Amino acid sequence: MADIKLHRCSYTFLHTDLDACWKVQRALDEQGIAYDVVKHGYLKGKRPEIVALSGQKLLPVIELPDGTAYREESSAMAARVRSGEPLGPAA
Ligand SMILES: N[C@@H](CCC(=O)N[C@@H](CS)C(=O)NCC(=O)O)C(=O)O
């Protein structure tokens, strides 16, 4: 089991940067960062579990080992992953 969880949509076949979830997943793969995928249905309304975790309903969300969430625009998340800096909101 990996330390972090990538909460992403279940819509997995569009492997392009048009897919916000894939953009972040690809960055994690490129960096060799292990993660578990937690899939959520696409366009499934309010997503109470994601709101509880991250304070908003959009995916992707990275759940950190301490149980907190990291969520920004997916481009910023992918850049953060590639930067090698600790994952989390910008200081
Ligand atoms: N501009 C946002 C878009 C995020 C986004 O739309 N994510 C999709 C999943 S890839 C989503 O949560 N869609 C709304 C829904 O499924 O309810 C970003 O790049 O992070």
pLDDT in tens, 7-57: 999 876 667 777 899 999 999 999 999 999 999 987 667 889 999 999 999
- For residue 83, report the distance from its CA to the centre of ligand 1, in Å: 22
pTM of the model: 0.91
Q: What burial class does residue 38 get, using C-beta atoms within 10 Å of its C-beta: 0-12 exposed, 13-18 middle, 19+ buried?
A: middle
Q: What backbone phi and psi angles, to 5 degrees, belong to 66?
A: -85, 5
Pocket of ligand 1 (CB under 6 A): 9, 19-21, 42-43, 58-59, 73-74
What's the confidence (pLDDT) of residue 91? Answer: 58
Over residues 76-86, mean pLDDT: 95
Going by alpha carbons, the residue nearest to atom 19 of ligand 1 is 74
What's the confidence (pLDDT) of residue 17? Answer: 75
pLDDT of 58 higher than 80:
yes
All domains in the chain, ordered by first residue: 4-83 (3.40.30.10)
